Amino acid sequence: MSSRDLDRLYELLGELEKAPEQGRKLADYSGRTGWPTRGVYFFREQGENRRDSPQTARIVRVGTHAVSANSKSALWGRLRSHRGNRAGGGNHRGSIFRLHVGDALLRRDNAFIGELSTWSVGSTASNVVRLAEAEHEQRVSAYLGRMSLLWVEVPDEPGPNSDRGYIERNSIALLSNTLRPLAPPSQSWLGLHSPRMEIRSSGLWNLNHVQQQYTPEFLSVLERYILRHSSSQIASK
């Protein structure tokens, strides 16, 4: 069941990628892309492919936003916090994705870039600390900027029962397969250097939902939104 459901997830994302603006590198996007206000996004990483389908790029992170009641955050705002600014900087305290990638880079390249004891410490930092972290923030931006991105518009209201949250957590659970991923990472995947077991074992830059069971019915919900999204995008060309 899990393998068939995983194939279906990738087939649906393949259909999504046919729509305009899909599948580009994160660094190539801007606020002018024409983002929907709300949606779910899927990241793929250079050099990471499915072992049973080498031409298919492997999903390495699933995310959304505005799942808390009354939240005002927008899709591009969340993606921009992951990407960082146009100068190559960023703020890992505003993006858990950046924090995890930065942790793994520090562990992998410790002998080259040295210690950075302030990384991931606190929710805010002084200008002195931010300046000391600036070079590493640029490394994180460069790494994330090379990842390709798919997204689907899911325009429901914020809240714990939103379809966005439903699609996100079930996609993560399916990809993780309760930490026995059917599309495991390559031996050179940066995430294997993460201090977090959840990332190393799941092959995803996610912590939440990686040890949950998925509900296969979520794929029909995702399909409905992908068909709606793709039709509207193609019609607007």
What pLDDT, in 10s, does the model give residues 9-61?
999 999 999 999 999 999 999 999 989 999 999 999 989 999 988 899 999 99
Q: Centre a 10 Å sphere on the Cβ of residue 170 and count the other Cβ atoms it contains.
A: 24
Q: What is the pLDDT of residues 193-230, one digit of tens each?
A: 999 999 999 999 999 999 999 999 999 999 999 998 77
Residue 153, strand partner residues: 39
Structure tokens at 191: 């995430």
Predicted model pTM: 0.94
At residue 10, φ and ψ (nearest 5 deg) are: -70, -35
Contact residues for 11 (Cβ-Cβ < 8 A; gap 6+): none
Q: What is the pLDDT of residues 97-140, one digit of tens each?
A: 999 999 999 999 985 666 788 999 999 999 999 999 999 999 99
pLDDT of 71 strictly over 90 = no
CA distances from 162 to 114, 206, 227 (A): 43, 19, 18
The DSSP line for 127-167 is: HHHHHHHHHHHHHHHHHHHTSEEEEEE--PPSSTT-HHHHH
Task: Give the least confident one: 17-21, 93-97, 188-192.
Answer: 17-21
DSSP secondary structure code for residue 47 in this structure: E
Q: Are strands 39-50 and 53-63 parallel, antiparallel or unpaired?
A: antiparallel
Domain count, the chain: 1
Structure tokens at 135: 């070079």
Structure tokens at 115: 């210690």
Residues 152 and 229: beta-carbon distance below 8 Å: yes
Structure tokens at 166: 């439903």
Domain span at 96 = 2-235
Q: Where are the alpha helices (DSSP H) in the chain?
A: 2-16, 75-83, 96-108, 110-113, 127-145, 163-176, 197-202, 218-235
